[in-house]
């Protein structure tokens, strides 16, 4: 999206702060070699090549010096310079000399920006006129990290200092508070604490192993998708995890993913671990002659695909090598596109209401970058037609889409649903995409009512996208306290003492027979400790039984987040619980 004036102002301040950070580092470490220092979302960073290590204890000192430079009101001035002059100016900075060589090779104009007399940098610009325009209390140096020069692990690793910056101190404090809350909700920590997934060095980085409890969540999500999608006659399929490279060369994915493809060699053939699923589905369609009466054909599948992500980019469940994708492909006639796309939109709405994310979202009409059409497949005519169709569908459904250039997939424009979690972070999840290109590449056809062979259209749809990434989002959104229908354990049963363990077993048995995921604890610890453990485990309901409950054939119920909600007849509680689960509340 284009940046507003306010966005440009804060970006200029962040960029200037990156230069002030470099100035402060050079004062403390005069022999530092400078990498790059751009403004980024929420702040800035700068990379340094140092013999010494910058430590967390150095950050407050660097901050103090930066504040002094801000208050000095230093002017920022830029000038265009020649390659020869730039080389002289940065003769002791090898990384800058490399950039000068790169820019000169690409015939780019070189510019240098000076911050008073304390710092100069090879830079494209975008700064405050004076450092005093920056609020000295509205930034913070936050962390240190390693970063390969130019992002290439073959290059030397530099020391990166990150900072955040805002217009006001209040905004900064709000951001830092949100970051602390994000740490408490980190899916990597909660995933281990709640026993949802794990990783093993013997299995490999980016290859998560889901425990029985984590698998419950995955299965419940898949079950919900199947139930909702079946209302619209989506047909489950099953495809292998490998295919010959020619499949992806034909689809265009071999060029798109390049080095991310994982090759597999057998004794007899060579294969590729599938990076996407749609080419396989085209082969199910192509397996027999199709008539216009057969369409639409709606295939859906939750299956793994694989990409050789760089080790430095792998992170928890959000960036993995084995990706379980909720995928769907509808093969249809042009006159069927509108109805099919609208039905997918209905599936998206129903599913996201069930996970509590519907409402605080917006939809992007993601189209090609008109200035760079080389990265896309298909004719201009088909692209224009698909974009117009999605715009009409969006208008009919009152989606109030925002048109975003450059965000289309390689073979078609799409509607991307952007959802916010409880921390206000935004994620692109569901998508509806019209594809005129791939069916032609695979020579797919159907026979129309006049006996003529016609190329169908593919509508690609994803509801939750990647199960791994979606679970990471849900864990952090709910802080591990999932809705009852998704919770790995829905009820925990506690006896006040060993004397009432028999009654507790009866209650647990009845719950399990009603398909309620139930745990029964032994009465070998104090009741208070067992209640606290149930709360820490984020179990939605804890049933406690003792003498009174056994005598009255009742149960005492504690609800997560509410505490004791009183005694109830077991049948009354079970009916209410069953309704809550079935309605996915």
Q: What is the pLDDT of residues 183-203, one digit of tens each?
A: 999 999 999 999 999 999 999
Nearest-angstrom CA–CA distance, 148 and 159: 9
167 DSSP 8-state letter: S
What pLDDT does 5 receive? 46
Domains of the chain listed by start with CATH number: 5-178 (3.30.980.10), 197-478 (3.30.930.10), 491-582 (3.40.50.800)
Report the candidate in 435, 438, 457, 436 with the shortest Cα–Cα distance to residue 446. Answer: 457
Nearest-angstrom CA–CA distance, 201 and 354: 36
Token look-up 């996208």 returns 465
Q: What is the pLDDT of residues 234-282, one digit of tens each?
A: 999 999 999 999 999 999 888 888 889 999 999 999 999 999 999 999 9
Nearest-angstrom CA–CA distance, 66 and 53: 19
Question: Which pair of structure tokens corresponds to residue 249?
Answer: 């060369």
Q: Which residues of the chain have pLDDT under 50?
A: 1-5
How many residues would you count in the chain?
A: 585
Strand partners, 160: 47, 145
Residue 329, marked binder:
yes
- Sequence-separated (6 or more) residues with CB below 8 Å from residue 139: 17, 43, 63, 66, 163, 164, 165, 166, 172
Residue 278, marked binder:
yes
- Sequence-separated (6 or more) residues with CB below 8 Å from residue 470: 221, 429, 464
**Is residue 257 classed as helix, strand or coil in its secondary structure?**
helix
**Is residue 410 classed as helix, strand or coil in its secondary structure?**
coil
What pLDDT does 7 receive? 64
What pLDDT does 288 receive? 96
Sign (positive/negative) of CA torsion 489, 524, 572, 515? positive
Report the candidate in 417, 323, 406, 408 with the shortest Cα–Cα distance to residue 361. Answer: 417
The Cβ of residue 571 has, within 10 Å, a number of other Cβ atoms equal to 10
Report the alpha-carbon angle 70-72-74, nearest 5: 80
Question: Which pair of structure tokens corresponds to residue 133?
Answer: 């325009």
What pLDDT does 509 receive? 97
Please give the model's pTM, rounded to 2 decimal places: 0.85
CA Rg value for the chain:
29
Nearest-angstrom CA–CA distance, 42 and 327: 33
Within its chain, how far is the Cα of 500 from the centroid? 47
Backbone angles phi, psi at 360, to 5 degrees: -95, 70
The Cβ of residue 417 has, within 10 Å, a number of other Cβ atoms equal to 26
3-state secondary structure 215-235: HHHHHHHHHHHHHHHHCCCCE
The Cβ of residue 246 has, within 10 Å, a number of other Cβ atoms equal to 11
Task: Judge contact between 485 and 536, C-beta under 8 A.
Answer: no
Question: Which pair of structure tokens corresponds to residue 73?
Answer: 């009101």
The DSSP secondary structure of 55-67, one letter per residue, reads -TTHHHHHHHHHH
Question: Which pair of structure tokens corresponds to residue 379?
Answer: 């004719």
Residue 460, marked binder:
yes
Task: Judge contact between 69 and 113, C-beta under 8 A.
Answer: no
Strand partners, 77: 114
What pLDDT does 4 receive? 44
Distance of CA 416 to CAs 98, 133, 452, 521, 533, Å? 39, 38, 35, 45, 40
Token look-up 């209640």 returns 531
Task: Judge contact between 157 and 446, C-beta under 8 A.
Answer: no
Average pLDDT, the chain: 93
């Amino acid at each position: 999206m284009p940046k507003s004036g306010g966005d440009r102002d804060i970006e200029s301040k962040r960029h200037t702060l990156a230069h002030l950070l470099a100035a402060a580092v050079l004062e403390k470490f005069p022999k530092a070699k400078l990498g790059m220092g751009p403004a980024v979302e929420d702040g800035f960073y700068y990379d340094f090549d140092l013999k010494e290590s910058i430590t967390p204890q150095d950050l407050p000192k660097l901050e103090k010096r930066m504040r002094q430079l801000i208050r000095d009101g230093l002017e920022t001035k830029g000038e265009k310079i020649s390659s020869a002059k730039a080389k002289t100016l940065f003769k002791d900075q090898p990384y800058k000399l490399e950039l000068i060589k790169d820019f000169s090779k690409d015939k780019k104009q070189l510019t240098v920006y000076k911050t008073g007399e304390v710092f100069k940098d090879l830079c494209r610009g975008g700064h405050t006129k004076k450092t005093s325009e920056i609020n000295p209390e509205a930034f913070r140096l936050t962390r240190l990290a390693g970063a390969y020069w130019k992002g290439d692990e073959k290059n030397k690793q530099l020391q990166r200092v990150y900072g955040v910056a805002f217009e006001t101190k209040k905004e900064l404090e709000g951001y830092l508070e949100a970051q602390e809350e994000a740490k408490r909700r980190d899916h990597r920590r909660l995933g281990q604490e709640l026993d949802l997934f794990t990783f093993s060095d013997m299995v490999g980085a980016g290859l998560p192993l889901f425990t029985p409890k984590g698998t419950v969540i995955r299965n419940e999500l898949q079950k919900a998708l199947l139930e909702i999608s079946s209302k619209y006659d989506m047909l489950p399929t099953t495809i292998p995890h490998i295919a010959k490279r020619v499949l992806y060369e034909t689809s265009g994915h071999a060029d798109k993913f390049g080095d991310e493809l994982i090759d597999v060699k057998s004794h007899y053939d060579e294969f590729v671990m599938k990076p996407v699923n749609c080419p396989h589905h085209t082969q199910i369609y192509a397996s027999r002659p199709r008539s216009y009466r057969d369409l639409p054909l709606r295939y859906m599948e939750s299956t793994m695909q694989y990409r050789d992500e760089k080790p430095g980019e792998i992170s928890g469940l959000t960036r993995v090598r084995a990706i379980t994708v909720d995928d769907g492909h509808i093969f249809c006639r042009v006159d069927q596109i509108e109805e099919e796309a609208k039905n997918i939109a209905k599936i998206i709405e129903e599913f996201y209401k069930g996970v509590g994310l519907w409402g605080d979202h917006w939809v992007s009409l993601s189209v090609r970058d008109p200035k760079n059409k080389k990265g896309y497949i298909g004719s201009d005519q088909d692209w224009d037609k698909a974009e117009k169709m999605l715009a009409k569908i969006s208008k009919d459904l009152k989606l109030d889409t925002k048109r975003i250039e450059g965000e289309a997939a390689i073979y078609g424009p799409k509607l991307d649903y952007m959802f916010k979690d409880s921390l206000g972070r935004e994620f692109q999840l569901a998508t509806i995409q019209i594809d005129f290109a791939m069916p032609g590449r695979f020579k797919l056809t159907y026979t129309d009512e006049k006996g003529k062979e016609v190329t169908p259209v593919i509508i690609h749809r994803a509801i939750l996208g990647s199960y791994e990434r979606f679970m990471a989002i849900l864990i952090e959104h709910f802080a591990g306290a999932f809705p009852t229908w998704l919770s790995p354990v829905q009820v925990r049963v506690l006896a006040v003492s060993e004397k009432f363990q028999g009654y507790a077993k009866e209650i647990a048995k009845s719950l399990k027979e009603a398909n309620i995921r139930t745990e029964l604890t032994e009465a070998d610890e104090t009741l208070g400790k067992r209640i606290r453990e149930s709360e820490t485990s984020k179990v939605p309901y804890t049933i406690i039984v003792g003498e009174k409950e056994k005598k009255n054939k009742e149960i005492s119920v504690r609800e997560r987040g509410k505490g004791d909600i009183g005694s109830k007849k077991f049948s009354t509680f079970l009916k209410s619980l069953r309704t809550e689960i079935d309605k996915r509340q």
